[in-house]
Structure 1
């Protein structure tokens, strides 16, 4: 993901992590991708707005690339670079972020 968004001025990164252990394992990749992005939003463990219990996902979108890497605590992983699938996954995360911000206001 970092390679795909490198030098892309308008990259967006969205993520959701189900447990602190999963976040700790993925933190170096999240930090690297986020440092290259224009906008990053992550739903962290313990957040009521986590989209699906036991699942997490990292989404990166640029003008030229889109990709999502999703995982469950049972070890199942899904990678897709299909723009329509990535957009659907990203919308779920964005809706949860929006719901969280409204609740916090």
Structure 2
């Protein structure tokens, strides 16, 4: 089975991720990058996808599943960091050797 074209990959991912606009870029080394733009300025980029690993409908479904999984993991990390910052309610620490409130 042949490797899917850029437009076929975009269409397949868009069909499986309907709330996102998918734009793919093919690279000379055979890899693919995908930028997913969703509601509320939600953006997610995936790079270095080896197209040869995703041939056919089942493989595209697996790719969409893997992308969704990475999106969930990424959001959990962002939320955890935000919640931790809000819970601490402290300003970010200055690097060592820098005095707060002092200007040069």
Query: Which has the bigger relative contact order, CA under 8 A and spacing at least 6?
Result: 1
User: Which has a greater percent of helix?
Assistant: 2
